[in-house]
Structure 1
């Protein structure tokens, strides 16, 4: 791999989404990420959808779209960490690594004899990153430390569902798995910061990201609103509690987002709608005025937007007022922006077909990343990777996996 992280070596013990997304971000940027799986593989290998195999039967050690998306650009190794040989193989990988990432529940790595203290004593420069539902007790022992968690739990407890939905009686989870993905992004940032410290001092450390904490930080507005007003923010659909207009309006054939909360943009919006009188109406003069009459404001806009198609509304407002259509995945795959920005990447898939995955949103001029490589087959690079680390062979693919993965 090329890219700005070329030379960074990461051992990836993660499964499902939060941890794999963290290491995917690093791999996309050129890090050498070695994904270590148990003999039966990451559980998410079995999760669909599954492209049809052009040669007939699915390829052994293959995977569906879920795994393909967040495990691209990694090399795959099988080690049974419940055996002495498997743990010895892991130590050989860690000997030359900058960081290790895991997202097991509290206590799993301790039972394997691979806890932070043990690894730090043997590999003092190693950065140890963990992503757990409620964090590692070493950095703060909360009351839920041993609870398992998935995305929806983090969204609920971290405050996101409490402000998402049509109204207070219908809390709604966000569509993408942000309760996994955002912690993964923060873990990648923390890993790079800790590696920088290790380069300066020779000292590795534990980097701990809780899914709950990450979602709470993502919902930062709710904290200061509650602190200042004493009133808990509630779901209110597609409008904003502090800005107006800032929401979704209907068109003749769909929906468009419109954001014109500044007084300047509001006046410009009314002119573009052909209703400049609204822009000089004292009832709507300031953002605070418009908030107090939000229902009226959105009705005025929709009286105009419903008479046009979505394309027509965007044609009038685009480039002048912050706006955009509410796009489906099919719309995005046809959007020239996504293609021009390399945000749609086609990868070969086991069996001879291809799968399109979302590209990397981080772009560089001097150190662009290499073309993406597909996710590995189960154990595809075991011999290659371990042969480069030691003179003895890898452990055999027998036994079970550690239990209890968060996200």
Structure 2
């Protein structure tokens, strides 16, 4: 794959043994920044390839939107690690790579003879990263280490569900897969830190992020609330326990978010809604006062917002008071900010005559360095090219292919 000159991670080779969402999101972040990511799939492919959604015109169905979104900018090979020769190829690839990322359960790679210590013996500078539900025994033995985990498991155990939803409703899962995406992002940070350490010491490193741990870190507020006050925070709907106004308010045709807990923003909000009297009202004078009278704050703010459209409210408030419409995806696609910031990227979709959009890369550089986006690989699309780079003779590759070790 051609990487733009000057891309931040140009020259970095990453061996990607991940599947589903958390692991592929790690390597997607690295690929978007210029790393040469080689995605290793089993003969049947990543479990997300057939999950869709598929465009109505797509009769090829090589992969759907899920796979396309988090596997762009990668090269793909097929390798059967259940075979001795397949594991030998993997070891050769690891010897030639800077980073290996996997998200198997703890112990799987060791049973294959491909654990960190074994691969480090071949490549002393290797950064080996694992993102699992409950971490790796190397950094702390969890009683749950053998359990499988998905996003919903991490969200449930990490505390986020217990504080999400309406006070009189059930615990609520956050819409996007934060139980996968946050640990993935932290794993990418850990990898970059480990690479800096390798530069300084020459010694490889094992990077470990548990999905449970990552979600718990996201819920840092409940930890200090419990530690400092002895409380057990529950579901607070769309309000904030420590700030007011800070949440969602009804408009005539939808919902808006307003965040004006600071006294200056509160004063500006009162002026904008033509209620300067509220500034001197002792019930609303400070943020602490407003938190104590949050329902009254809601009443006076919604008295103004409920009679106006989202667009009208935005026109009055947005320049001075932190606020935002609650965007549907249709509004996001139409938003000029999103286009200006290249946060919708159209990629070729095999089997579809026109490109389709995926979410863009939010990390920007003033120099303009970056990577032109490329579609996700077809199953085994780059196997021959990658093995050729390893120096494998063509007849050897042909033999591996004939015996279904590679594809």
Is the shorter-chain TM-score for this pair beyond 0.5, marking a shared fold?
A: yes
Measure how far apart 1:352 and its partner are. Answer: 3.1
Q: Which residue of structure 1 aligns with residue 385 of structure 2?
A: 384
Q: Which residue of structure 2 aligns with residue 396 of structure 1?
A: 401
The superposition leaves residues 294-334 of structure 1 with CA deviations (integer Å, 9 ceiling, x where unpaired) of 00001100000011001011111011000000001111001
- Shifted more, 275-284 versus 242-251: the winner is 275-284
Measure how far apart 1:119 and its partner are. Answer: 1.0
Question: How many pairs does the alignment contain?
Answer: 397
The residue matched to 2:88 in structure 1 has which SS?
helix
Relative distance call for 1:32 and 1:144 in structure 2 (3 A) is same
Relative distance call for 1:233 and 1:275 in structure 2 (3 A) is same
The residue matched to 2:182 in structure 1 has which SS?
helix
Q: Which residue of structure 2 aligns with residue 101 of structure 1?
A: 101
The superposition leaves residues 143-167 of structure 1 with CA deviations (integer Å, 9 ceiling, x where unpaired) of 1111100000000100111111111
What is the distance in 1 between the residues matched to 2:63 and 2:269? Answer: 49
Q: Which residue of structure 1 aligns with residue 11 of structure 2?
A: 7
What is the distance in 2 between the residues matched to 1:168 and 1:108? Answer: 43
Relative distance call for 1:9 and 1:397 in structure 2 (3 A) is farther
Counterpart check, 1:139 vs 2:139: yes
Q: Which residue of structure 2 aligns with residue 229 of structure 1?
A: 229
What is the distance in 1 between the residues matched to 2:133 and 2:402? Answer: 29
Contact 1:38–1:400 (8 Å) recurs in 2: no
Q: Which residue of structure 2 aligns with residue 156 of structure 1?
A: 156
Taking structure 1 as the reference length, the TM-score comes to 0.95
What is the distance in 2 between the residues matched to 1:352 and 1:49? Answer: 13
Alignment of 1:36-115 (within 5 A): 36-53=40-57, 57-58=59-60, 62-115=62-115
Q: Which residue of structure 2 aligns with residue 375 of structure 1?
A: 376
Relative distance call for 1:274 and 1:398 in structure 2 (3 A) is farther
The residue matched to 1:228 in structure 2 has which SS?
helix
The residue matched to 1:5 in structure 2 has which SS?
coil
Measure how far apart 1:21 and its partner are. Answer: 0.2
Q: Which residue of structure 2 aligns with residue 294 of structure 1?
A: 294
The residue matched to 1:189 in structure 2 has which SS?
helix
Unaligned runs of 5+ in 2: none
What is the distance in 1 between the residues matched to 2:402 and 2:356? Answer: 28
Q: What is the alpha-carbon root mean square deviation over aligned residues?
A: 1.5
Measure how far apart 1:249 and its partner are. Answer: 0.1
Alignment of 1:4-403 (within 5 A): 4-53=8-57, 57-58=59-60, 62-167=62-167, 169-353=169-353, 354-366=355-367, 368-392=369-393, 393-394=396-397, 395-396=400-401
What is the distance in 2 between the residues matched to 1:252 and 1:204? Answer: 58
What is the distance in 2 between the residues matched to 1:351 and 1:92? Answer: 34
What is the distance in 1 between the residues matched to 2:402 and 2:68? Answer: 22
What is the distance in 1 between the residues matched to 2:315 and 2:19? Answer: 44
Measure how far apart 1:52 and its partner are. Answer: 3.2
The residue matched to 2:315 in structure 1 has which SS?
helix
Taking structure 2 as the reference length, the TM-score comes to 0.95
Q: Which has the higher contact order (CA 8 A, sep 6+)?
A: 1
